[in-house]
Structure 1
Amino acid sequence: MNEIKKIAFFLVTLVMVSCNMENKTLVLEVYETSASGNKLTRLKEFKSNDSTTVIKLNPNQTFQTITGFGGAFTESSAYLLNKLSTENRKKIIDAYFSKDGANYSLTRTHMNSCDFSLSNYSYAPIEGDKELEHFNIQEDKADLIPFIKEALAASTDGFKIFGSPWTAPPWMKDNNKWVGGKLLPEYYDTWALFFSKYADAYKAEGIDIWGFTVENEPLGNGNNWESMHYTPDEMTHFVQNYLGPKLEADGKGNLKILGYDQNREHLKEWVDSQFKNEETSKYFDGTAIHWYASTYDYFPEELQYAHDKAPSKLLIQSEACVDAEVPVWKDDAWYWKKEATDWGWDWAPEEDKHLHPKYAPVNRYARDIIGCLNNWVDGWVDWNMVLDKQGGPNWFKNWCIAPVIVDPDKDEVYFTPLYFTMAHFSKFIRPNAKVIGVENSDKNLMVTAAENPDGSIAVVVFNEMETPSGIQLTLNDQSVEFTIDAKAIQTIVIPKNIN
């Protein structure tokens, strides 16, 4: 039975796991992914364990409202799907977007090309076309748009999608290049119009855009692939005086605008600019962040600062991946070992090297998502959904890992442990859920919890230790004991009307 069918199978029957405490029992479902081989497996039996971690849930203490979880639609992923058989293409799309799969709810895509494109391109190719009379999204119609539409068809609940530009076309920039440079002030109006036209063009294809980030990585990416630079105040100026007013004037004031869109270590200076006062804050709906500043540190102080600066605004992790690595093919054990490196292993400044040790890819995903949820982040978006065995295609040869790896020549698909790690969150913590209070007696376990709109509660526990751990989970005056395996992630679902 393949892994996707297994997921559906384990959802068929409800199993009660309980212990007696003052004649009151807690009913729940437990799903586990582990280094020992579980893959979002519904557990029916638990091993006894001498150690017990006490986890107390407090649904009366609420934090942020969840926007969603998901990944990015890239030209590279779409291109690869086009090369697979109809059966495998559908298998992957269903795995990500159906209720029996990961049920992704928040997604991203690139506007114009990015490094995970096959080449450089822009929707506004004609130099000097300030009114964008020749604007077109023809480049997306063979791959990206069909991918998105098939995902929408597979999704029962639907999902949000936001666009991110890596750069304006070179003719709008001061260096006339795809890489680096800044937007020329004479094209601020034109670039704002670009966003509006993009939303219209996708709407005509049957795809509603939920919002935008202003610029992917405005600090640059080492002068390598498509990029365009802003300072915090330059971005705030563009949004306050051009992008926000243009979308509003065109009847698109409901579209979300997320500022920044790069690593968390610089977050403070960006939110200080965006949310300086009522005028600067008006058109920003929130802030987007990346995780590439460290392989293990999720920067809780910066996340807390961003929330305190603008408590009513969104805080969304918009991109993350295991970068600077070629995927390991059909070897689940590798994804649980500290063998991976990232860009910083070789290239980070000496004073930052300590932030980039080797790490286990599963650990990085699980730790970061839980750490984010416990520090006000309301959405978490992975990068490419599908890559090949090389970690591309990528025109700059910037190889990375995706949760699903394919061999298009042999029409083979590999669901890595990262896919199941993502599903532990996206499948069980739904949009508009509320993160709730958790007391956790064991610092070696990471725990987060959220109450869904239907009243169910999802608790995610990550044990990166080499030994299993007993857990006593308590909600109000109800309790249950079970165990989590060594090197494992669990989602515990407490059905509605129980709590």
Structure 2
Amino acid sequence: MAVATTLITLLLAASSAAQSIEGLGVSGGNGPRGGIGDGAHPVMRPQAFITDAKIPTAPNTTRQLAPGRPPRLVLHNQTSPTCDTRRRVVIDSSTGGAQQEMLGFGHAWTGSTVSVFQTLEDDVLDRVMQDLYGQGGNNMGFMRHTIGSSDLDGNQYTYDDNGPSFNQGQPDLDLSNFDIGPHGSAMAEMIARMGSYKGDVFLFGSPWSYPGWMKHNGLFIAPNLNEGSYSNLMNNSFNMQYIPQIIQYFSKYVDAFLDHGVSVNGLTLMNEPLNSQGGYPCMFLDAADEAAILAQGLGEEMHNRGVKVMAYDHNTDQPMYPMRVVQGAPEYTDMAAWHCYQGPVANYSVMRDFHYAYPDKLQFMTECSNYLPEAGSVNWAVAQNFIPPVRYGASGGTMWVMATNPDFGPHSPYGGCAGCLGSIVVNSSTTYTKTNDYYMIGQFSRFIRRGAVNYKVLEGMEGTTYDPNWFDLIAVKNPDMGWAVVFMNNLGSDQDVVLSFTEGDFEWEGTIPNATVVTWLLPSDQIVGQSGVLPLASGTAVVGTGTGGGTACPTTSSMMSSSSAPPTSTLKPVPHTKHTISVSSGSSSVS
């Protein structure tokens, strides 16, 4: 293992150039507390992990991050087109194929998460934290949290309401009444506890509303109209005269969380800034106003604190919003943030356009919820909102609410999501359920290391999110120079796959079962060569390794003598390593 680690260390400098995550205030390379695929834990043999898209009707009735049959290593072969029924997947592994570095995947801390976690006995909470953040769990390293309350919170508040209740306070021009209060303190303390399980999480915050006294609130009487009419645009929108106060507000928030031992690495100025509907915390914030807040002092204050700024934080149907923010405050806009709620599905291709316009700005998918998934149904909410964004330039993603009670709460008494499923459902003080979303997120967060590089997929995909059936994938090169390839198969049948790279002499063969998300972990070419194990050179490649069977197609190879008979020996795996990911629940009280 020492030789392998030294080899990987020497190879890190040869990694392809890509859009970098350097300077984000978190470590690169090995990622938080490491994990399989980092420099210290290289992949030494091919592995496969599988999660069924079917929502189970009872515990342990579907595959959930279960070890699957690993792919086999073969040399490039020339198979007769009339015989070959396999799906050929081609990755551009050249320098030109390198896209963006990966930061990580995770979830969102909400008031509901904090409140239900507070009901757990301490040893049970410890198991939850290990399941979410430990190396034997989901190893999440990119997390969001709410600044003040959101719709997934039983109480409505900001950090400076300065009045009898939310949205009813008086102006507090020097923010003398700023206080994160008991709810903010409870969240900061819970996030600090997360940090003890997870070394280097990138944490960013998002407000659902500014303090009510900073907004245009109440009725706006328009001239020449009947009394009581009002303008929706002027209702529940930011009043620009309070720019100095909102700069102080964000600065005090970052400092207050740091006092609780929590480093905030990034923020968005407003969650869903184009949403001003009544009923729960929200506020309209125009792109020009967002840029003005940054340019007039907030950008400098945040950068002085090491906090990166994400523009927008809303749906893909308004792609000009983050571009307008960059145009108005180019020096202080570091990233763009996108949500999944455009109907009928998110059009993540706009991220490619943003990248072409601003290649130095990172992008993320920062919110998507899985709404009321039904037991027994097939659900792709996580995969279809992690895979396409990464393909179009995202360096990571966060799903919405991380934990709730069995009634999808607590949530806002005046509205909010009454059916948003999280990774964890807390049933009692001693029991909790890991949902299918938990295992789906694990297909990404467990195996894609911080500092991994996403590469172009040249061939092998079929269909889009607009189609009823489709096959999608992403391929990233981890810091150990091995590969993590995440497949999503919604085509209605098992897919026998031959995966090849534009640079390299090897191919990997295996089956992606229907209605699954599967991750292949592939050792680097250097590890394969160092092991002294040669790939299958010729003979009959049996490709129907899944439950659906397959065809047997003859293969040829330049290494096979024309006078020799095809060998019949099976492929030997790359030597076994102890560095594997545990998939057991670890406790009988957890389902």
Tell me whether the two structures share a fold, i.e. TM-score over 0.5: yes
Computing the radius of gyration from Cα coordinates, the structure with the larger value is 2
- 1:368 is aligned, of 369, 385, 405, to 385
TM-aligned CA deviation for residue 415 of structure 1: 1.5
Residue-by-residue CA offset, 1:19-62 (whole Å, 9 max, x unaligned): xxxxxxxx511111124721111124789x98411122333220
Q: How does 1:102-181 map to 2 (within 5 A)?
A: 102-126=138-162, 127-140=170-183, 143-155=186-198, 157-175=199-217, 181=236
Shift of 1:374: 0.8
Cα 1:194/1:81, change in 2 over 3 Å: same
Residue 348 of structure 2 is matched in structure 1 by 300
1:182 aligned onto 2:237? yes
| CA shift in 2, pair 1:458/1:46, >3 Å | closer
* Contact 1:180-1:223 at 8 Å conserved across structures: no
Q: Residue 446 of structure 1: CA displacement?
A: 0.5
Equivalent positions of 1:272-351 (< 5 A) are 272-276=323-327, 280-294=329-343, 297-323=345-371, 325=372, 331=375, 333-334=376-377, 336=378
User: 2:585: which partner in 1?
Assistant: none
Q: Which residue of 1 aligns with 2:48?
A: 30
Match of 1:70 among 84, 106, 111: 106
- For the 8 Å contact 1:77–1:386, the answer to whether it is kept is yes
**Contact 1:180–1:220 (CA<8 Å) still a contact in 2?**
no
Choose 392-401 or 106-115, whichever is displaced more: 392-401
CA shift, 1:201, in A, is: 0.6
Three-state SS of the structure 2 residue aligned to 1:109 is: strand
The yes-or-no answer on 1:481 pairing with 2:509 is yes
Aligned to 1:459: 485
1:447, 1:460 within 8 Å by CA — same for their partners in 2?
Answer: yes
2: distance between equivalents of 1:104 and 1:72? 11
Distance, in Å, in 1 between the alignment partners of 2:175 and 2:249 is: 7
Show CA shifts across 1:342-371 (max 9, x none): xxxxxxxxxxxxxxxxxx3xx232122111
Q: Please state how far the C-alpha of 1:125 moved relative to its aligned partner.
A: 2.8
Aligned to 1:380: 397
Query: What is the CA–CA distance in structure 1 between the aligned matches of 2:108 and 2:259, rounded to whole Å?
Result: 21
Contact preservation (8 Å) 2:364, 2:389: no
Match of 2:475 in 1: 449
State the Cα deviation string for residues 62-86 of structure 1 (Å, max 9, x = none).
0011122111111111100111233
Deviation, 1:186, is: 2.3
Gaps of 5+ in 1: 1-7, 17-26, 337-359
Q: Please give the secondary structure, in 2, of the residue aligned with 1:240.
A: helix
Which amino acid is 2:489 matched to?
N
User: Which secondary structure does the structure 1 equivalent of 2:253 belong to?
Assistant: helix
Does the alignment pair 1:230 with 2:285? Answer: yes
Q: 1:207-244: CA deviations, max 9, x gaps?
A: 10001101111111532311111222121122222311
Residue number in structure 1 paired with 2:247: 192
Judge conservation of contact 2:189–2:260 (CA < 8 Å) in 1: no
- Describe the shift of the 1:14–1:137 C-alpha distance in structure 2 as closer, same or farther (beyond 3 A): closer
SS in 2 for 1:32: strand
User: Using a 3 Å threshold, how does the CA distance of structure 1 residues 436 and 299 change in structure 2: closer, same or farther?
Assistant: same
CA 1:423–1:407 in structure 2 vs 1: closer, same or farther (change >3 Å)?
Answer: closer
C-alpha distance in 1 between matches for 2:70 and 2:158: 55
CA contact 1:175–1:181 (8 Å) conserved in 2: yes
Structure 2 residue aligned with 1:393:
410
2:315–2:342 contact (8 Å) kept in structure 1 = yes
Q: Counterpart of 2:205 in structure 1: which amino acid?
A: G
Deviation, 1:439, is 2.9
2:421 counterpart letter in structure 1: A
For 1:118 and 1:180, the matched residues in 2 are separated by 24
Percent of matched pairs sharing the same residue: 23
**8 A contact 2:236–2:276 mirrored in 1:** no
Residues 199 and 397 (structure 1), Cα distance of their counterparts in 2 relative to 1, 3 Å cut: closer
Alignment match of 1:58 (pick from 87, 92, 96): 92
Which deviations, in whole Å up to 9, do the C-alpha atoms of 1:434-474 show, x marking residues without a partner?
10122333514211111122322110011012211111122
2-structure distance, mates of 1:46, 1:194: 53
* Aligned residue identity for 2:212: P
**Which of 232, 252, 259 pairs up with 1:204?**
259
Shift of 1:410: 6.9
- Does the CA-based 8 Å contact 1:433-1:452 persist in structure 2? yes
SS at match of 2:237: coil
Distance change >3 Å, CA 453–CA 293, structure 1 → 2: same
Question: How far is the alpha carbon of 1:286 from its aligned partner?
Answer: 1.3
Shift of residue 245 of structure 1?
3.4
Q: Deviations over 1:161-191 (max 9, x none)?
A: 01111111111212169x9512222211010
1:265 aligns with 2:354: no
Structure 1 residue identity aligned to 2:178: F
Q: 8 Å contact 1:271–1:287 — kept in the other structure? A: yes
Where 1:281 maps in the other structure, the secondary structure is: coil
Give the match's secondary structure for 1:266.
coil
SS in 2 for 1:233: helix
TM-superposed CA distance for 1:105, in Å, is 0.9
Asked whether the equivalents of residues 133 and 139 of structure 2 are also in contact (C-alpha less than 8 Å), the reply is: yes
What is the identity, as a one-letter code, of the residue corresponding to 1:258? M
Q: Is the 8 A contact 2:48 2:70 kept in 1?
A: no
Partner of 2:521: 493
User: What amino acid does structure 2 have at the position aligned with 1:58?
Assistant: D
Letter in 1 for 2:515: K
Q: For 2:429 and 2:181, locate their aligned partners in 1 and report how far apart those are by CA, in whole Å.
A: 29
Q: What SS does structure 2 have at the residue aligned with 1:275?
A: helix
CA spacing shift, 1:184–1:142, aligned 2, 3 Å: closer
Q: Distance in 2 between matches of 1:220 and 1:212?
A: 18
For residue 119 of structure 1, report the CA deviation from its aligned partner.
Answer: 1.0
Q: Write out per-residue CA displacement over residues 297-355 of structure 1, whole angstroms, 9 at most, x where no aligned residue.
A: 331331111111211101111111023x3x65xx4x33x1xxxxxxxxxxxxxxxxxxx
Equivalent residue number for residue 441 of structure 2: 422
AA partner of residue 121 (structure 1): Y
Over aligned residues, Cα RMSD in angstroms?
Answer: 2.7
- Shift of residue 405 of structure 1? 4.0
CA contact (8 A) 1:75 1:143 kept: no
In structure 2, do the counterparts of structure 1 residues 183 and 39 end up closer, same or farther at CA, with 3 Å as the change threshold? Answer: same
